[in-house]
Amino acid sequence: MTKDMKDIVALCKRRGFIFPASDIYGGLNGFWDYGPLGTELKNNLRDRWWKDMVLCPPLGPDGAPVEIVGVDSSIIQNPKCWEASGHVGGFNDPMVDCKESKKRYRADHVVVYWPKDGQGSGVAFDKDAEDAEIEKRLKKLTNKALADFDTAKLDQIDTAKFANIIGPDVKTPGTLTEPRQFNMMFHTFVGATSGDENKAYLRPETCAGIFLNFKNVLDSSRTRVPFGIAQIGKAFRNEVTPRNFIFRSREFEQMELEWFCEESEVPMWFDFWVDQRTRFWDAVGIPKSALHFLDVPKDELAHYSARTIDVEYAFPFAAPGYDELEGIAHRGNFDLTQHQQFSGQKLDYFDQATNSRFLPHVIEPSTGLTRGVLALLCQAYTPDESRPSGVYMNFTPAMAPKKAAILPLTAKEDHVPLAQKLYLELREDFAVDLDIKQNIGKRYARQDEIGTPYCFTVDNDTLADHTVTVRDRNTMAQERIHMDKVADYLKEKMK
Ligand code: GAP
């Protein structure tokens, strides 16, 4: 089944999941707002992660629950933090500008098609461009077919050859500048003056606040290695080319766990967390069959990482491939070592059992909350021509923004009070919708599109015997149950 990002983006706007930020001003590239339903969906995913990590963490390899505590650190930290973490010096993307179109590209995201016969110019495309589009443009610009070309990524091409490349959005060669390194951290100034001495950064990842508080947490709680510190919060990156809806944005949210352990136990805990994270995605509706696990090649690892597995999801824009949903990295003891050196504060851990001090190693499962929301939306999107809405959102009940809708069959006075009574009872425990207006078919269609798993309809039989119909979103099958049983029914389905 093909899913088209354009349809998913349109549904998100039409039904109030996600809007472009500053929509009435024409938007702002790389920034998004979450509407009423998107906020609920995001909160559901966030709360489930927090529950599975902090409130009710998994059982470890020895059968005892592992220990994880949470923090909520500042977005702006002392700028020395980002020197220590390597972000001031090294958080760079190679950026290329087009002098004619004024557009900016990441050099590693541009693919150049070189004629195999060496005659004529190379033609550049965005790495996600579709074959049909590539074929059409190549034919137009060079009168050659796709099979007549070899490809190379722009960041691997000698800049002397740039004069002979036609940029992605122009028709003549020689308009691309040489790649320049571009630091992706947003900066601001703290206090009234705006000199370099007041310069500070918006965090590009949430984990730094965890490392900065490692000693505070150890000193103030009873945690012992191995243990974890978790955090959920906003992160900011001035991405050169934000793209694919909320997949790569400039403001986003991360959910990160730093798991501190002894170096000798790294392989065991690494496998443990890959397994646990796979189970998590399955539980929220992303089956293992939709995931791909990429052992990141050594030369592509982040500067802090000794090993990383990218958990990739079959996002529609990546079809037939996958793109990153989560990274599980072995960060060594890079961060604690750096922060210890730059701050001059001892950050080592004292192990009472062995009477020794060491800097623990870190396994980091790090995922984008907002990117996870996109995966849930893409996975749930189910075209179905047999129903009036033409599509339904197949969220797991626990992730669905609305767990149920209460629908009086007609807006007649005797149906509405009973529906209202049921609604008031259920909303104490569940996110439910009371929808009174329009014919029942249109209301079912709306609930299908927002992914409400159950609709309870109050009709004339309800007046007689206090039963309501339950309509199942996926099967559209209906059954009758007693009004008093509705709360238990939903509770059972949410498990
Ligand atoms: N602390 C490690 C770290 O930040 P990362 O691979 O750069 O590693 C982790 O980011 C996760 O954060 C990614 O797997 C992705 O889900 C999310 N993420 C990163 N950049 C993002 C962006 N520009 N927009 C949305 N999500 C992003």
Pairing relationship of beta strands 122-126 and 165-166 according to DSSP bridges? parallel
Q: Is the pLDDT of residue 412 over 80?
A: no
Distance 373 CA to ligand 1 centre (A): 13
Q: ∠ CA(174), CA(176), CA(178), 5° rounding?
A: 115
In this prediction, residue 488 carries a pLDDT of 97
Given a contact cutoff of 8 angstroms between Cβ atoms, the answer to whether 449 and 473 are in contact is: no
Average pLDDT over residues 43-61: 98
272 lines ligand 1 (CB under 6 A): no
Same domain, 409 and 430: yes
Distance 376 CA to ligand 1 centre (A): 17
Instruction: Give, using CA atoms, the residue closest to atom 12 of ligand 1.
Output: 368
Query: Rounded distance, CA 482 to CA 408, Å?
Result: 15
Of residues 323, 309, 332, 352, the one with CA closest to residue 258: 332
Ligand 1 pocket, mutate which of 335, 369, 371, 373 (most atoms under 8 A from CB): 371
Ligand 1 probe mutation, 324, 364, 373, 376, most atoms within 8 A of CB: 324
Burial readout 427-461 (b: 16 or more C-beta within 10 A, e: otherwise): eeebbbbbbeeeebeebbbbbbbbbbbbbbbbbee
| pLDDT of amino acid 458 | 96
Nearest CA to ligand 1 atom 6: 327
Q: Is the CB of 254 under 6 A from ligand 1?
A: yes
- Residue 236: give the domain boundaries: 5-90+187-379
Q: Assess whether pLDDT exceeds 90 at residue 304.
A: no
At 128 the pLDDT is: 85
Same domain, 402 and 432: yes
- Whole-number pLDDT of residue 302: 86
- Report pLDDT for 46: 98
The answer to the question of residue 386 being in a domain is no
Which three-class secondary structure state does DSSP give residue 408?
strand
Domain of 424: which CATH number? 3.40.50.800
Nearest residue by C-alpha to atom 23 in ligand 1: 248
145 vs 124: CA distance, rounded Å: 15
Q: What are phi and psi of 322, to 5 degrees?
A: -135, 165
Helix axes 266-283, 36-50, angle to 10 degrees: 140
Pairs from 215-221 (Cβ < 8 Å, separation ≥ 24): 215/345, 215/346, 215/347, 217/69, 217/71, 218/349, 221/69
Give CA torsion, residues 270, 273, 279, 284, to 10 deg: -130
Q: How far, in Å, is the centroid of ligand 1 from the Cα of 99?
A: 30
Please say which residue of 182, 202, 229 terminates a domain: 182
Ligand 1: distance of its center to the CA of 173 in Å? 34
Residue nearest to atom 15 of ligand 1 (CA): 368
Closest-lying ligand 1 atom to the alpha carbon of residue 242: 23
Distance between CA atoms of 129 and 136, rounded to whole angstroms?
11
Contact present, 234 and 75 (Cβ < 8 Å): yes
In the structure encoding, which two tokens stand for residue 461, read together? 């039989």
Instruction: Indicate the pairing of strand 454-458 with strand 404-408.
Output: parallel
What is the distance between the alpha carbons of residues 35 and 144, in angstroms, rounded to a whole number? 47
- The secondary element (H helix, E strand) that includes residue 47 is helix 36-50
| The pLDDT of residue 178 is above 80 | yes
Query: Are residues 253 and 312 located together in one domain of the fold?
Result: yes
**Is 430 within a domain?**
yes
Helices (H), 193-296: 207-212, 214-220, 266-283
- Mean pLDDT value of segment 451-462: 97
Q: Does residue 369 sit in the same domain as residue 417?
A: no
368 lines ligand 1 (CB under 6 A): yes
Q: What is the mean pLDDT of the segment spanning 88-104? A: 90
Predicted pLDDT of residue 1:
63
- Whole-angstrom distance, CA of residue 329 vs CA of residue 305: 6
- Tell me which residue has its CA closest to atom 2 in ligand 1: 366
Least confident among 123-132, 231-240, 312-321: 123-132
24 plus 170 within the same structural domain: no
User: How confident is the prediction for the chain on average, in pLDDT?
Assistant: 95
For 35-159, strand residue ranges (E) read 68-70, 92-97, 104-106, 110-115, 122-126, 149-153
- Assigned domain for 451 exists: yes
Peptide linkage before 65 cis (omega within 30 of 0) = no
Q: What is the predicted pLDDT for the residue at 478? A: 97
| CA count, 13 A, side-chain hemisphere, 495 | 6
Residues 229 and 314 in one domain: yes
If pLDDT is split at 50, 70 and 90, which confidence band does 116 have?
A: very high
Radius of gyration of the chain (CA): 26
**What is the count of structural domains for the chain?**
3
In a domain? residue 284 = yes
Rounded (10°) CA dihedral 263, 264, 267, 273: -60
Residue 44: HSE in the Cβ half-sphere, 13 Å Cα cutoff: 24
pLDDT at 66 over 80: yes
CATH number at residue 306: 3.30.930.10
The reported pLDDT for the residue numbered 334 is 96
Res 384 pLDDT > 80: yes
Per the domain annotation, does 139 fall within a domain? yes
How much is the average pLDDT of 339-354? 96
- Residue ending a domain, among 379, 407, 428, is 379
The arithmetic mean of pLDDT across residues 128-153, rounded, is 93
Is ligand 1 within 6 A of the CB of residue 370? yes
> Hey, what are 260's tokens?
């501190």
Using a pLDDT cut of 70, give the percent of the chain over it: 100
Query: Which amino acid belongs to residue 294?
Result: L
Q: Which two tokens stand for residue 277?
A: 């994270």
- pLDDT above 70 for 174: yes
| Average pLDDT of the residues in 182-197 | 91
